[in-house]
Chain A
Amino acid sequence: MVNLGDFFYTLGMWLQGLLMRAGLSESAARGVFSALVAALLPLLALLTAVPLIWLERKWIARLQDRMGPNRVGPFGLFQVFADMIKIFTKEDITPLGADRIVFALAPVLAVAGVVGLWAVIPFAANAFGVDLNVGVLYLVAVGTLSTLAIMLAGWSANNKYALLGAYRTVAQMISYEVPLVLSLLVPVLLSGSLGLNGIVAAQREVWFVFSAPLAALLFLISSQAEVSRAPFDLLEAESEIVAGFNIEYSGMKFGFFFVGEFLHSFTMGLLGATLFLGGWTGPGVDAYPALGAVYLILKGTFVYFIFVWARATFPRIRIDQMLDFNWKLLTPLGLFLIPLLAVVNRGLSESSLWLRNAALLGANVFLAALVLIILGTRGRSARMRAASAAGPAASRR
Protein backbone atom coordinates (compact mmCIF):
# COMPACT_ATOMS: atom_id res chain seq x y z
CA MET A 1 0.00 0.00 0.00
CA VAL A 2 1.60 3.18 -1.11
CA ASN A 3 1.27 6.09 1.27
CA LEU A 4 1.81 9.04 -1.03
CA GLY A 5 1.83 11.47 1.85
CA ASP A 6 5.13 10.00 2.98
CA PHE A 7 6.52 9.95 -0.52
CA PHE A 8 10.24 9.98 0.14
CA TYR A 9 10.13 7.30 2.80
CA THR A 10 7.97 5.07 0.62
CA LEU A 11 10.28 5.52 -2.35
CA GLY A 12 13.31 4.73 -0.22
CA MET A 13 11.75 1.62 1.27
CA TRP A 14 10.65 0.38 -2.16
CA LEU A 15 14.15 0.81 -3.64
CA GLN A 16 15.73 -0.91 -0.67
CA GLY A 17 13.20 -3.72 -1.01
CA LEU A 18 14.27 -4.15 -4.64
CA LEU A 19 17.92 -4.28 -3.63
CA MET A 20 17.24 -6.80 -0.89
CA ARG A 21 15.35 -9.04 -3.28
CA ALA A 22 18.40 -8.86 -5.55
CA GLY A 23 20.35 -10.53 -2.77
CA LEU A 24 21.83 -7.75 -0.65
CA SER A 25 21.56 -7.72 3.12
CA GLU A 26 19.53 -5.00 4.77
CA SER A 27 22.46 -2.84 5.82
CA ALA A 28 24.04 -3.16 2.38
CA ALA A 29 20.75 -2.14 0.76
CA ARG A 30 20.56 0.86 3.02
CA GLY A 31 24.16 1.73 2.18
CA VAL A 32 23.61 1.47 -1.56
CA PHE A 33 20.48 3.59 -1.26
CA SER A 34 22.38 6.30 0.64
CA ALA A 35 25.11 6.22 -1.99
CA LEU A 36 22.49 6.56 -4.71
CA VAL A 37 20.98 9.58 -2.99
CA ALA A 38 24.48 11.05 -2.55
CA ALA A 39 25.11 10.60 -6.27
CA LEU A 40 21.82 12.08 -7.45
CA LEU A 41 21.51 15.03 -5.08
CA PRO A 42 24.41 17.01 -6.64
CA LEU A 43 22.75 16.58 -10.00
CA LEU A 44 19.51 17.90 -8.54
CA ALA A 45 21.39 20.85 -7.06
CA LEU A 46 22.95 21.74 -10.40
CA LEU A 47 19.64 21.33 -12.22
CA THR A 48 18.01 23.75 -9.79
CA ALA A 49 20.18 26.47 -11.27
CA VAL A 50 18.23 26.31 -14.53
CA PRO A 51 14.80 27.57 -13.35
CA LEU A 52 16.58 29.70 -10.78
CA ILE A 53 18.40 31.88 -13.29
CA TRP A 54 15.19 32.39 -15.25
CA LEU A 55 13.34 33.29 -12.06
CA GLU A 56 15.98 35.77 -10.99
CA ARG A 57 16.10 37.48 -14.36
CA LYS A 58 12.33 37.78 -14.49
CA TRP A 59 12.10 39.11 -10.94
CA ILE A 60 14.90 41.63 -11.35
CA ALA A 61 13.33 42.78 -14.58
CA ARG A 62 9.90 43.27 -13.04
CA LEU A 63 11.40 45.11 -10.09
CA GLN A 64 13.13 47.37 -12.59
CA ASP A 65 9.88 47.92 -14.49
CA ARG A 66 10.86 45.93 -17.55
CA MET A 67 9.92 42.55 -19.00
CA GLY A 68 12.95 40.33 -18.70
CA PRO A 69 13.58 37.53 -21.19
CA ASN A 70 10.43 36.82 -23.18
CA ARG A 71 11.59 35.93 -26.67
CA VAL A 72 13.03 32.47 -26.32
CA GLY A 73 10.13 30.16 -25.58
CA PRO A 74 6.93 31.05 -23.74
CA PHE A 75 7.69 33.71 -21.13
CA GLY A 76 11.37 33.33 -21.97
CA LEU A 77 11.53 29.94 -20.27
CA PHE A 78 14.10 28.56 -22.71
CA GLN A 79 16.43 31.53 -22.27
CA VAL A 80 18.56 29.65 -19.77
CA PHE A 81 18.92 26.69 -22.13
CA ALA A 82 19.97 29.03 -24.91
CA ASP A 83 22.57 30.61 -22.63
CA MET A 84 23.82 27.20 -21.59
CA ILE A 85 24.21 26.07 -25.20
CA LYS A 86 26.09 29.26 -25.96
CA ILE A 87 28.44 28.83 -23.02
CA PHE A 88 29.06 25.16 -23.83
CA THR A 89 30.13 25.92 -27.35
CA LYS A 90 32.44 28.85 -26.65
CA GLU A 91 36.14 28.42 -27.03
CA ASP A 92 38.07 27.67 -23.89
CA ILE A 93 41.02 30.07 -23.88
CA THR A 94 43.76 29.65 -21.32
CA PRO A 95 46.07 32.67 -21.22
CA LEU A 96 49.77 32.19 -21.87
CA GLY A 97 51.69 31.69 -18.69
CA ALA A 98 48.68 30.76 -16.62
CA ASP A 99 48.92 27.85 -14.24
CA ARG A 100 46.87 25.36 -16.24
CA ILE A 101 45.89 22.86 -13.58
CA VAL A 102 44.87 25.43 -11.00
CA PHE A 103 43.17 27.48 -13.71
CA ALA A 104 40.94 24.51 -14.52
CA LEU A 105 40.49 23.46 -10.91
CA ALA A 106 39.17 26.77 -9.60
CA PRO A 107 35.71 26.76 -11.24
CA VAL A 108 35.25 23.10 -10.31
CA LEU A 109 35.95 23.89 -6.66
CA ALA A 110 33.67 26.91 -6.78
CA VAL A 111 30.76 24.68 -7.83
CA ALA A 112 31.72 21.80 -5.54
CA GLY A 113 31.80 24.18 -2.58
CA VAL A 114 28.20 25.12 -3.22
CA VAL A 115 26.80 21.74 -4.19
CA GLY A 116 28.41 20.19 -1.11
CA LEU A 117 26.12 22.27 1.07
CA TRP A 118 23.10 20.42 -0.27
CA ALA A 119 24.18 17.20 1.41
CA VAL A 120 23.00 18.27 4.86
CA ILE A 121 19.89 20.30 4.08
CA PRO A 122 16.79 18.45 5.34
CA PHE A 123 14.13 18.68 2.66
CA ALA A 124 11.51 16.81 4.66
CA ALA A 125 11.36 14.85 7.88
CA ASN A 126 13.06 11.87 6.25
CA ALA A 127 14.39 13.31 3.00
CA PHE A 128 17.95 14.50 3.29
CA GLY A 129 21.36 13.55 1.98
CA VAL A 130 23.06 12.87 5.29
CA ASP A 131 22.01 13.49 8.86
CA LEU A 132 25.31 14.82 10.14
CA ASN A 133 25.35 15.58 13.83
CA VAL A 134 27.77 18.43 13.10
CA GLY A 135 25.84 19.81 10.15
CA VAL A 136 26.45 23.47 10.97
CA LEU A 137 30.24 22.98 11.19
CA TYR A 138 30.11 21.11 7.88
CA LEU A 139 28.29 24.09 6.35
CA VAL A 140 30.98 26.50 7.49
CA ALA A 141 33.79 24.26 6.29
CA VAL A 142 32.41 23.44 2.85
CA GLY A 143 31.16 26.98 2.34
CA THR A 144 34.70 28.27 2.56
CA LEU A 145 35.75 26.06 -0.35
CA SER A 146 34.29 28.55 -2.81
CA THR A 147 36.35 31.33 -1.23
CA LEU A 148 39.46 29.24 -1.79
CA ALA A 149 38.41 28.69 -5.40
CA ILE A 150 38.32 32.45 -5.98
CA MET A 151 41.84 32.86 -4.68
CA LEU A 152 43.02 30.04 -6.94
CA ALA A 153 41.26 31.64 -9.89
CA GLY A 154 42.84 35.02 -9.37
CA TRP A 155 46.30 33.66 -8.75
CA SER A 156 46.44 31.25 -11.67
CA ALA A 157 45.24 33.63 -14.35
CA ASN A 158 48.57 35.42 -14.83
CA ASN A 159 46.80 38.74 -14.84
CA LYS A 160 47.46 41.44 -12.27
CA TYR A 161 43.89 42.70 -12.38
CA ALA A 162 42.54 39.23 -11.75
CA LEU A 163 44.92 38.90 -8.82
CA LEU A 164 43.96 42.25 -7.33
CA GLY A 165 40.30 41.43 -7.82
CA ALA A 166 40.80 38.07 -6.17
CA TYR A 167 42.59 39.65 -3.17
CA ARG A 168 39.79 42.10 -2.63
CA THR A 169 37.02 39.55 -3.16
CA VAL A 170 38.61 37.13 -0.74
CA ALA A 171 39.16 39.94 1.80
CA GLN A 172 35.47 40.75 1.54
CA MET A 173 34.41 37.12 1.78
CA ILE A 174 36.50 36.22 4.78
CA SER A 175 35.49 39.42 6.53
CA TYR A 176 31.81 38.62 6.14
CA GLU A 177 32.39 35.02 7.14
CA VAL A 178 32.74 36.18 10.77
CA PRO A 179 29.21 37.56 11.27
CA LEU A 180 27.91 34.67 9.16
CA VAL A 181 29.25 32.00 11.51
CA LEU A 182 28.25 34.11 14.50
CA SER A 183 24.70 34.15 13.23
CA LEU A 184 24.93 30.39 12.58
CA LEU A 185 25.70 29.99 16.28
CA VAL A 186 22.27 31.35 17.22
CA PRO A 187 20.13 28.44 15.94
CA VAL A 188 22.60 26.11 17.65
CA LEU A 189 22.16 28.08 20.88
CA LEU A 190 18.39 28.05 20.67
CA SER A 191 17.98 24.43 19.64
CA GLY A 192 20.87 22.78 21.45
CA SER A 193 21.84 20.80 18.38
CA LEU A 194 24.56 21.21 15.76
CA GLY A 195 22.71 19.04 13.28
CA LEU A 196 20.30 20.68 10.87
CA ASN A 197 17.62 18.05 11.47
CA GLY A 198 17.68 18.88 15.17
CA ILE A 199 17.51 22.60 14.46
CA VAL A 200 14.46 22.17 12.23
CA ALA A 201 12.76 19.86 14.73
CA ALA A 202 13.29 22.44 17.48
CA GLN A 203 11.33 24.98 15.45
CA ARG A 204 8.08 23.04 15.52
CA GLU A 205 6.36 25.51 17.80
CA VAL A 206 8.16 28.78 17.20
CA TRP A 207 10.43 29.64 14.32
CA PHE A 208 13.78 31.12 15.24
CA VAL A 209 13.12 34.19 13.16
CA PHE A 210 10.61 35.19 15.83
CA SER A 211 12.90 34.30 18.71
CA ALA A 212 15.98 35.99 17.30
CA PRO A 213 15.12 38.33 14.42
CA LEU A 214 18.42 40.17 14.79
CA ALA A 215 20.33 36.96 14.15
CA ALA A 216 18.17 36.27 11.09
CA LEU A 217 18.94 39.77 9.81
CA LEU A 218 22.64 39.21 10.46
CA PHE A 219 22.48 35.97 8.50
CA LEU A 220 20.58 37.65 5.68
CA ILE A 221 23.10 40.45 5.28
CA SER A 222 26.29 38.50 5.76
CA SER A 223 25.25 35.60 3.54
CA GLN A 224 24.67 38.03 0.69
CA ALA A 225 28.04 39.66 1.19
CA GLU A 226 29.61 36.22 1.46
CA VAL A 227 28.27 35.31 -1.99
CA SER A 228 29.48 38.64 -3.43
CA ARG A 229 25.99 39.51 -4.46
CA ALA A 230 24.55 42.99 -4.87
CA PRO A 231 24.67 45.34 -3.08
CA PHE A 232 28.06 43.86 -2.25
CA ASP A 233 29.19 42.91 -5.73
CA LEU A 234 31.56 45.78 -6.45
CA LEU A 235 34.30 43.37 -7.29
CA GLU A 236 32.63 41.47 -10.07
CA ALA A 237 29.77 43.54 -11.38
CA GLU A 238 29.28 43.95 -15.09
CA SER A 239 29.69 47.67 -15.06
CA GLU A 240 33.05 47.61 -13.36
CA ILE A 241 36.06 48.21 -15.55
CA VAL A 242 37.60 44.79 -15.25
CA ALA A 243 35.40 41.89 -14.21
CA GLY A 244 37.52 40.93 -11.25
CA PHE A 245 39.03 37.54 -10.62
CA ASN A 246 37.22 35.78 -13.46
CA ILE A 247 38.41 38.08 -16.20
CA GLU A 248 40.49 35.50 -18.03
CA TYR A 249 37.81 32.82 -17.94
CA SER A 250 35.72 32.03 -20.97
CA GLY A 251 33.21 29.40 -21.92
CA MET A 252 32.15 26.76 -19.47
CA LYS A 253 34.66 27.73 -16.78
CA PHE A 254 33.15 31.17 -16.60
CA GLY A 255 29.74 29.52 -16.74
CA PHE A 256 30.61 27.58 -13.59
CA PHE A 257 31.52 30.70 -11.65
CA PHE A 258 28.29 32.29 -12.82
CA VAL A 259 26.12 29.28 -12.00
CA GLY A 260 28.00 28.76 -8.76
CA GLU A 261 27.22 32.28 -7.61
CA PHE A 262 23.51 31.98 -8.35
CA LEU A 263 23.29 28.56 -6.80
CA HIS A 264 25.21 29.73 -3.75
CA SER A 265 22.74 32.55 -3.32
CA PHE A 266 19.77 30.19 -3.52
CA THR A 267 21.48 27.72 -1.19
CA MET A 268 21.90 30.52 1.34
CA GLY A 269 18.19 31.16 0.91
CA LEU A 270 17.46 27.49 1.63
CA LEU A 271 19.77 27.59 4.63
CA GLY A 272 18.12 30.71 5.96
CA ALA A 273 14.78 28.97 5.60
CA THR A 274 16.11 25.88 7.37
CA LEU A 275 17.85 27.69 10.20
CA PHE A 276 15.45 30.52 10.87
CA LEU A 277 12.14 29.94 9.10
CA GLY A 278 11.54 26.43 10.35
CA GLY A 279 12.69 24.40 7.36
CA TRP A 280 10.16 21.78 6.49
CA THR A 281 7.78 22.49 9.40
CA GLY A 282 4.35 23.77 8.65
CA PRO A 283 0.71 22.78 8.93
CA GLY A 284 0.09 19.17 8.00
CA VAL A 285 3.64 17.78 7.95
CA ASP A 286 2.90 15.21 10.62
CA ALA A 287 0.22 13.58 8.51
CA TYR A 288 1.91 14.11 5.15
CA PRO A 289 5.68 14.37 5.66
CA ALA A 290 6.37 14.91 1.97
CA LEU A 291 4.64 18.28 2.29
CA GLY A 292 7.72 19.43 4.13
CA ALA A 293 9.72 19.59 0.91
CA VAL A 294 7.10 21.89 -0.59
CA TYR A 295 7.24 24.14 2.47
CA LEU A 296 11.03 24.29 2.42
CA ILE A 297 11.17 25.19 -1.25
CA LEU A 298 8.53 27.87 -0.77
CA LYS A 299 10.34 29.36 2.20
CA GLY A 300 13.71 29.16 0.46
CA THR A 301 12.29 30.90 -2.59
CA PHE A 302 10.81 33.57 -0.34
CA VAL A 303 14.21 34.29 1.22
CA TYR A 304 15.75 34.24 -2.26
CA PHE A 305 13.16 36.78 -3.33
CA ILE A 306 14.33 39.05 -0.53
CA PHE A 307 17.86 38.71 -1.92
CA VAL A 308 16.70 39.60 -5.42
CA TRP A 309 14.71 42.50 -4.01
CA ALA A 310 17.78 43.82 -2.21
CA ARG A 311 19.79 43.49 -5.40
CA ALA A 312 17.29 45.52 -7.36
CA THR A 313 16.88 48.16 -4.68
CA PHE A 314 20.21 49.15 -3.20
CA PRO A 315 23.17 50.83 -4.85
CA ARG A 316 26.53 49.19 -4.69
CA ILE A 317 28.70 49.72 -1.65
CA ARG A 318 32.38 50.61 -1.94
CA ILE A 319 34.81 48.12 -0.53
CA ASP A 320 36.01 50.30 2.33
CA GLN A 321 32.40 51.02 3.31
CA MET A 322 31.69 47.31 3.05
CA LEU A 323 34.54 46.31 5.31
CA ASP A 324 33.78 49.08 7.80
CA PHE A 325 30.16 47.93 7.88
CA ASN A 326 31.33 44.42 8.62
CA TRP A 327 34.00 44.97 11.24
CA LYS A 328 32.47 47.94 13.02
CA LEU A 329 28.79 47.08 12.96
CA LEU A 330 28.01 43.45 12.13
CA THR A 331 30.81 41.74 14.05
CA PRO A 332 30.30 43.65 17.33
CA LEU A 333 26.55 43.12 16.91
CA GLY A 334 27.07 39.38 16.58
CA LEU A 335 29.55 39.30 19.43
CA PHE A 336 27.12 40.98 21.81
CA LEU A 337 24.07 39.09 20.56
CA ILE A 338 25.45 35.64 21.36
CA PRO A 339 26.12 36.10 25.09
CA LEU A 340 22.86 37.99 25.54
CA LEU A 341 20.77 35.27 23.90
CA ALA A 342 22.71 32.52 25.69
CA VAL A 343 22.16 34.08 29.10
CA VAL A 344 18.47 34.75 28.47
CA ASN A 345 17.86 31.31 27.02
CA ARG A 346 19.71 29.49 29.80
CA GLY A 347 18.30 31.65 32.54
CA LEU A 348 14.75 30.96 31.43
CA SER A 349 15.23 27.36 30.31
CA GLU A 350 12.83 26.17 33.00
CA SER A 351 10.08 28.57 32.03
CA SER A 352 7.32 28.11 29.52
CA LEU A 353 7.99 28.32 25.80
CA TRP A 354 6.16 31.59 25.31
CA LEU A 355 7.90 33.38 28.17
CA ARG A 356 11.30 32.26 26.92
CA ASN A 357 10.64 33.30 23.35
CA ALA A 358 9.13 36.59 24.44
CA ALA A 359 12.24 37.29 26.55
CA LEU A 360 14.51 36.37 23.62
CA LEU A 361 12.54 38.65 21.33
CA GLY A 362 12.77 41.39 23.93
CA ALA A 363 16.53 40.94 24.14
CA ASN A 364 16.76 41.25 20.36
CA VAL A 365 14.64 44.39 20.32
CA PHE A 366 16.71 45.85 23.15
CA LEU A 367 19.98 45.23 21.31
CA ALA A 368 18.57 46.57 18.05
CA ALA A 369 17.35 49.72 19.80
CA LEU A 370 20.77 50.15 21.41
CA VAL A 371 22.51 49.86 18.06
CA LEU A 372 20.12 52.33 16.45
CA ILE A 373 20.60 54.83 19.27
CA ILE A 374 24.38 54.55 19.02
CA LEU A 375 24.29 54.97 15.25
CA GLY A 376 21.89 57.87 15.60
CA THR A 377 24.01 59.80 18.07
CA ARG A 378 27.17 59.18 16.06
CA GLY A 379 25.39 60.28 12.92
CA ARG A 380 24.05 63.40 14.56
CA SER A 381 27.43 64.37 16.01
CA ALA A 382 29.05 63.79 12.61
CA ARG A 383 26.41 65.96 10.93
CA MET A 384 26.85 68.73 13.52
CA ARG A 385 30.60 68.61 13.11
CA ALA A 386 30.27 68.89 9.34
CA ALA A 387 27.73 71.72 9.67
CA SER A 388 29.88 73.76 12.05
CA ALA A 389 32.90 73.23 9.79
CA ALA A 390 30.86 74.61 6.88
CA GLY A 391 30.36 77.85 8.77
CA PRO A 392 27.68 79.51 10.91
CA ALA A 393 25.46 80.34 7.94
CA ALA A 394 24.96 76.70 7.04
CA SER A 395 24.31 75.55 10.59
CA ARG A 396 21.58 78.09 11.20
CA ARG A 397 19.14 75.96 9.19
Chain B
Amino acid sequence: MRLLLHAVTTTEPAALPPVGLRGQPLMVVRHAEMSAYASCFDAPVEHFGRADLLAHHDIVSSLSAQIDVLPARFPTWLADEDALRAELERRQADFGAALERVRGRVEIAVTVMWTDEPDDQRAPEAPTPGRKYLLGRQQAFTGSDKRRARGRQLAAELARLVSDDLVEIRHQVCPSPSVALSSAVLVPRASAENVRKRITRTEHDVRILINGPWPPYTFADVV
Protein backbone atom coordinates (compact mmCIF):
# COMPACT_ATOMS: atom_id res chain seq x y z
CA MET B 1 0.00 0.00 0.00
CA ARG B 2 1.13 3.54 -0.73
CA LEU B 3 -0.35 6.77 0.60
CA LEU B 4 -0.64 9.93 -1.45
CA LEU B 5 -0.92 12.77 1.04
CA HIS B 6 -3.43 15.59 0.52
CA ALA B 7 -3.45 17.62 3.72
CA VAL B 8 -2.60 17.80 7.40
CA THR B 9 -4.84 19.33 10.05
CA THR B 10 -5.69 19.29 13.73
CA THR B 11 -9.47 19.17 13.46
CA GLU B 12 -12.06 16.88 11.90
CA PRO B 13 -14.33 17.95 9.02
CA ALA B 14 -18.06 17.36 9.27
CA ALA B 15 -18.02 15.55 5.93
CA LEU B 16 -15.16 13.82 4.16
CA PRO B 17 -14.81 13.85 0.38
CA PRO B 18 -16.41 10.57 -0.78
CA VAL B 19 -13.30 9.16 -2.44
CA GLY B 20 -9.65 9.94 -2.88
CA LEU B 21 -7.63 10.47 -6.05
CA ARG B 22 -8.60 8.28 -9.02
CA GLY B 23 -11.48 6.82 -7.00
CA GLN B 24 -9.15 5.27 -4.43
CA PRO B 25 -10.17 5.14 -0.74
CA LEU B 26 -9.53 8.30 1.24
CA MET B 27 -7.85 7.51 4.56
CA VAL B 28 -7.51 9.54 7.75
CA VAL B 29 -4.35 8.83 9.73
CA ARG B 30 -4.39 10.28 13.23
CA HIS B 31 -1.43 10.79 15.52
CA ALA B 32 -1.33 12.86 18.71
CA GLU B 33 -3.47 15.89 17.84
CA MET B 34 -2.79 15.76 14.11
CA SER B 35 -4.83 14.20 11.30
CA ALA B 36 -3.55 13.52 7.80
CA TYR B 37 -5.75 12.84 4.76
CA ALA B 38 -4.36 10.59 2.06
CA SER B 39 -5.48 8.46 -0.87
CA CYS B 40 -4.57 4.75 -0.62
CA PHE B 41 -2.99 3.10 -3.66
CA ASP B 42 -1.81 -0.46 -4.10
CA ALA B 43 1.25 0.89 -5.93
CA PRO B 44 2.65 4.34 -6.73
CA VAL B 45 1.24 6.06 -9.81
CA GLU B 46 3.86 6.47 -12.52
CA HIS B 47 2.56 9.63 -14.16
CA PHE B 48 0.28 12.36 -13.06
CA GLY B 49 -1.50 14.85 -15.26
CA ARG B 50 -3.87 17.76 -15.20
CA ALA B 51 -6.88 15.73 -14.01
CA ASP B 52 -4.91 14.43 -11.03
CA LEU B 53 -3.79 17.91 -10.05
CA LEU B 54 -7.36 19.16 -10.19
CA ALA B 55 -8.64 16.15 -8.23
CA HIS B 56 -6.05 16.79 -5.51
CA HIS B 57 -7.12 20.45 -5.49
CA ASP B 58 -10.78 19.40 -5.15
CA ILE B 59 -10.02 17.15 -2.17
CA VAL B 60 -7.95 19.81 -0.41
CA SER B 61 -10.56 22.49 -1.19
CA SER B 62 -13.35 20.30 0.16
CA LEU B 63 -11.47 19.91 3.45
CA SER B 64 -10.39 23.54 3.53
CA ALA B 65 -13.99 24.72 3.15
CA GLN B 66 -14.77 23.08 6.50
CA ILE B 67 -11.57 23.21 8.55
CA ASP B 68 -8.11 24.75 8.55
CA VAL B 69 -5.65 22.58 6.64
CA LEU B 70 -2.06 22.52 5.50
CA PRO B 71 -2.10 21.32 1.87
CA ALA B 72 0.64 18.85 0.94
CA ARG B 73 2.86 19.51 -2.03
CA PHE B 74 1.72 17.31 -4.91
CA PRO B 75 2.61 14.50 -5.21
CA THR B 76 3.85 13.44 -1.75
CA TRP B 77 4.02 9.68 -1.27
CA LEU B 78 4.44 7.76 1.96
CA ALA B 79 5.11 4.04 2.26
CA ASP B 80 2.29 3.27 4.70
CA GLU B 81 0.39 4.49 7.76
CA ASP B 82 3.38 4.00 10.04
CA ALA B 83 5.56 6.18 7.83
CA LEU B 84 2.90 8.89 7.86
CA ARG B 85 2.51 8.68 11.65
CA ALA B 86 6.28 8.95 12.04
CA GLU B 87 6.25 12.14 9.98
CA LEU B 88 3.36 13.57 11.99
CA GLU B 89 5.29 12.86 15.18
CA ARG B 90 8.54 14.30 13.88
CA ARG B 91 6.98 17.48 12.44
CA GLN B 92 4.25 18.07 14.98
CA ALA B 93 5.61 21.41 16.20
CA ASP B 94 6.19 22.69 12.64
CA PHE B 95 2.71 21.70 11.53
CA GLY B 96 1.13 23.27 14.59
CA ALA B 97 2.92 26.57 13.96
CA ALA B 98 2.01 26.56 10.26
CA LEU B 99 -1.62 25.82 11.02
CA GLU B 100 -1.75 28.77 13.39
CA ARG B 101 -0.39 30.95 10.59
CA VAL B 102 -3.19 30.01 8.17
CA ARG B 103 -6.04 29.52 10.66
CA GLY B 104 -9.25 31.10 9.36
CA ARG B 105 -7.44 32.39 6.28
CA VAL B 106 -7.54 31.73 2.55
CA GLU B 107 -5.35 32.49 -0.44
CA ILE B 108 -6.29 34.80 -3.28
CA ALA B 109 -4.17 34.40 -6.42
CA VAL B 110 -3.62 37.55 -8.45
CA THR B 111 -2.07 37.30 -11.91
CA VAL B 112 -1.33 40.50 -13.80
CA MET B 113 -0.76 39.96 -17.52
CA TRP B 114 0.67 42.36 -20.07
CA THR B 115 -1.82 43.45 -22.72
CA ASP B 116 0.85 44.19 -25.31
CA GLU B 117 4.02 42.58 -26.56
CA PRO B 118 7.28 43.51 -24.87
CA ASP B 119 9.29 46.16 -26.69
CA ASP B 120 12.08 43.69 -27.31
CA GLN B 121 9.80 41.62 -29.56
CA ARG B 122 9.73 44.39 -32.18
CA ALA B 123 12.85 44.41 -34.34
CA PRO B 124 14.62 47.78 -34.38
CA GLU B 125 15.29 49.51 -37.66
CA ALA B 126 18.92 50.19 -38.58
CA PRO B 127 20.93 50.64 -41.80
CA THR B 128 23.39 47.80 -41.08
CA PRO B 129 23.03 44.30 -39.54
CA GLY B 130 25.62 45.07 -36.85
CA ARG B 131 23.90 48.21 -35.71
CA LYS B 132 20.53 46.46 -35.84
CA TYR B 133 21.89 43.70 -33.56
CA LEU B 134 23.31 46.17 -31.03
CA LEU B 135 20.10 48.20 -31.01
CA GLY B 136 18.15 45.00 -30.48
CA ARG B 137 20.25 44.05 -27.45
CA GLN B 138 19.94 47.54 -26.00
CA GLN B 139 16.18 47.47 -26.56
CA ALA B 140 15.89 44.06 -24.88
CA PHE B 141 17.71 45.19 -21.73
CA THR B 142 15.86 48.51 -21.51
CA GLY B 143 12.48 46.90 -22.12
CA SER B 144 13.14 44.24 -19.52
CA ASP B 145 14.13 46.82 -16.92
CA LYS B 146 11.04 48.91 -17.67
CA ARG B 147 8.76 45.91 -17.31
CA ARG B 148 10.34 44.82 -14.05
CA ALA B 149 9.97 48.34 -12.67
CA ARG B 150 6.32 48.38 -13.71
CA GLY B 151 5.84 44.91 -12.17
CA ARG B 152 7.25 46.14 -8.86
CA GLN B 153 4.97 49.19 -9.04
CA LEU B 154 1.96 46.90 -9.57
CA ALA B 155 3.03 44.75 -6.61
CA ALA B 156 3.16 47.80 -4.35
CA GLU B 157 -0.21 48.97 -5.62
CA LEU B 158 -1.77 45.55 -4.99
CA ALA B 159 -0.42 45.48 -1.43
CA ARG B 160 -1.91 48.92 -0.85
CA LEU B 161 -5.31 47.90 -2.25
CA VAL B 162 -5.62 44.92 0.09
CA SER B 163 -3.86 46.42 3.10
CA ASP B 164 -6.99 46.59 5.27
CA ASP B 165 -7.38 42.80 5.22
CA LEU B 166 -3.86 41.71 4.45
CA VAL B 167 -2.22 39.02 6.57
CA GLU B 168 0.67 38.24 4.23
CA ILE B 169 1.52 38.74 0.57
CA ARG B 170 4.16 37.17 -1.66
CA HIS B 171 5.09 38.36 -5.14
CA GLN B 172 6.85 37.08 -8.22
CA VAL B 173 7.61 39.99 -10.56
CA CYS B 174 7.79 39.17 -14.29
CA PRO B 175 7.91 35.36 -13.83
CA SER B 176 7.33 34.83 -17.57
CA PRO B 177 7.16 36.95 -20.75
CA SER B 178 3.39 37.38 -20.58
CA VAL B 179 3.06 37.87 -16.82
CA ALA B 180 3.88 41.13 -15.07
CA LEU B 181 3.11 39.92 -11.59
CA SER B 182 1.99 36.77 -9.84
CA SER B 183 0.95 37.33 -6.24
CA ALA B 184 -0.42 35.20 -3.42
CA VAL B 185 -2.49 37.14 -0.91
CA LEU B 186 -3.38 35.62 2.47
CA VAL B 187 -6.56 37.14 3.89
CA PRO B 188 -9.23 36.21 6.47
CA ARG B 189 -11.82 33.88 4.94
CA ALA B 190 -14.61 36.35 5.72
CA SER B 191 -12.85 39.12 3.78
CA ALA B 192 -12.08 37.13 0.63
CA GLU B 193 -14.94 38.38 -1.51
CA ASN B 194 -14.40 42.01 -0.53
CA VAL B 195 -10.72 41.67 -1.30
CA ARG B 196 -11.54 40.25 -4.74
CA LYS B 197 -13.81 43.21 -5.47
CA ARG B 198 -11.20 45.69 -4.33
CA ILE B 199 -8.53 44.21 -6.60
CA THR B 200 -10.77 44.18 -9.69
CA ARG B 201 -9.80 47.22 -11.74
CA THR B 202 -8.72 48.29 -15.19
CA GLU B 203 -5.22 49.37 -16.15
CA HIS B 204 -4.11 50.54 -19.57
CA ASP B 205 -1.20 48.14 -19.99
CA VAL B 206 -2.18 45.04 -18.01
CA ARG B 207 -5.08 42.67 -17.43
CA ILE B 208 -5.78 41.40 -13.94
CA LEU B 209 -6.89 37.82 -13.32
CA ILE B 210 -8.09 36.88 -9.84
CA ASN B 211 -8.47 33.29 -8.63
CA GLY B 212 -9.60 31.89 -5.32
CA PRO B 213 -10.28 31.86 -2.51
CA TRP B 214 -8.03 28.79 -2.52
CA PRO B 215 -6.61 26.76 0.34
CA PRO B 216 -3.49 28.52 1.63
CA TYR B 217 -1.06 26.61 -0.60
CA THR B 218 1.58 29.33 -0.72
CA PHE B 219 1.58 29.87 3.01
CA ALA B 220 1.78 26.24 4.10
CA ASP B 221 5.44 25.99 3.25
CA VAL B 222 6.61 23.62 5.94
CA VAL B 223 9.76 21.98 4.56
Physical interaction between A and B: no
Binding site for A on B (CB under 8 A): none
